[in-house]
Amino acid sequence: MKAVFLDRDGVINVERGYTHKLEDFVILPDLIEVLKLLESKGYLLIVVSNQSGIAKGLYKQSDVEVLHAFMTKEFTKNGIKLSEIYYCVHHPDVSRCICRKPDSLFVEKALARFNIDPSKSYFIGDKERDTAAAEKAGVKGILIEANSSLKTILHIIK
């Protein structure tokens, strides 16, 4: 198996800083089209996101679950299947963990769970911690500018 791992804020939806309200969750243009193409090439789609606003008390885990349910529903309506959504609820100022990117626990967990070949997989993120997590797990990291079209990097993904 091969997979494309996706950061959430800035890659899937508009980065606003601690996005946790449904009215602020806007899926980026071209995303649906690109995800369909990636699926047609045989890639599993897996989201890996840091949601430190939970640890900081800025919003609740239930707020994140509402956004993820909405996102999954929108993808399903468009024929896109997410294999999993992993998110870290910690922040180093509040709690220690090994799941927060740049650590690679969630990537490694998905590799094992879905029998994914890291050498055939990619992680698209808008921060260096995303690509650092990818590289720790042996996955190719692709750093993009936040809120940019994923069409700009399709030539990299074989």
Tens of pLDDT along 78-92?
Answer: 999 999 999 999 888
Q: What is the CATH number of domain 2-153?
A: 3.40.50.1000
For the chain, the first-to-last Cα distance in angstroms comes to 14
Summary count for the chain: helices (H), strands (E) = 4, 5
Q: Which of 7, 63, 126, 130 is catalytic?
A: 7
Find tokens 């909405």 and name the residue. 70
DSSP one-letter code for 19:
-
Task: Respond yes or no: is residue 93 known to be catalytic.
Answer: no
pLDDT digits (tens, 9 = 90+) for 97-108: 989 999 999 999
Residue 5 near residue 121 (C-beta atoms within 8 A):
yes
Alpha-carbon distance of 68 to 60, in angstroms, equals 13
Name residue 123's beta-bridge partners. Answer: 5, 141
Of the candidates 9, 63, 126, 130, the residue annotated as catalytic is 9
pLDDT at residue 85, rounded to an integer:
98
- Is 9 an annotated catalytic residue? yes
For range 29-47, the mean pLDDT: 97
Q: What is the DSSP letter of 28?
A: P
